[in-house]
Amino acid sequence: MINIPEGFHEKCASALIHKTIRNMQDEKSTEELPFVQAVTQGLADICEGNTVTLNEAKQQLGVI
């Protein structure tokens, strides 16, 4: 579980995500951009509470 510091709001996370992606696009780092987008989307999901347990993920993927 990631502990989000008190006072850290989703708007701040969203702004940081968009700024990071814009910076990556500006640098034209085409190899790294999809990775950064995936990581920032994952962090946004966590901030929004869109998480599952390991067992739920295994079930969804058909691993169990």
- CA gap 34, 26 in Å, rounded: 14
pLDDT for res 37: 81
In the chain, domain spans? 10-61
Q: What is the pLDDT along the chain (64 residues), one digit of tens a residue?
A: 455 555 555 566 667 667 766 766 666 567 777 887 888 888 888 888 888 999 999 999 999 8
Q: Could you give the angle at which helices 10-27 and 33-47 cross, rounded to 10 degrees? A: 180
